[in-house]
Amino acid sequence: MLRYVIAILIVLLAACSSFAPPPVPTLSPLEIQGRSVFESYCSRCHSASGETVVVGPSLAGIATRGMNRIDDMDSETYIRSSILDPSKYAVDGFPADVMPASLKDELSKGDFEAVVAYLLTLK
Ligand code: HEC
């Protein structure tokens, strides 16, 4: 009898220890597409991590910071506006005429949505 109890305990222990830790959040396909759009169109001026200033401000944390930029504007609206009309709200300390206003024409609708989705992961 004891042998069976021990055997069951061993099986239970093995089962418990095989539980994987919760998975690290991964990017959705749209966000992955957005990351490569970012690499192609934005990374020559923006970093996506740390405080590194390339030409424009780092976009690390923009999903959180974005909502504090303009009163009553959420991060997503702010990010969209920053791409569609870059000079409308220039970031303090940066020139308003450097980020190209032509990006909205260069990006397909799908790529635009993807890069917005990606930036919203930078919390
Ligand atoms: C030629 C350089 C350049 C490129 C390319 C560029 N940006 Fe910018 N961007 C800037 C500069 C400079 C600023 C700060 C001045 C301003 O707000 O217009 C800025 C500001 C921003 C802001 C506001 C950041 C904040 O902290 O409030 C966002 C969001 C942004 N850019 C997103 C993008 C995205 C997305 C792309 C690519 C699709 C892109 N930028 C491409 C130069 C660039």
Tens digits of pLDDT across the chain (123 residues): 667 666 655 565 566 666 677 666 799 999 999 999 999 999 999 999 999 999 999 999 999 999 999 999 999 999 999 999 999 999 999 999 999 999 999 999 999 999 999 999 999
Q: What do you get for the CA distance between the two ends of the chain, in Å?
A: 55
Closest CA to 79 of 65, 92, 100: 65
Q: Which residues line ligand 1 (CB under 6 A)?
A: 41-42, 44-46, 55-57, 59, 62, 69, 79, 82-83, 86-87, 90-91, 94, 96, 98-100, 103, 115, 119
Closest CA to 122 of 46, 11, 48: 48
For residue 86, which atom of ligand 1 is closest to its CA?
A: 18
Ligand 1 center–CA 68 separation, angstroms: 16
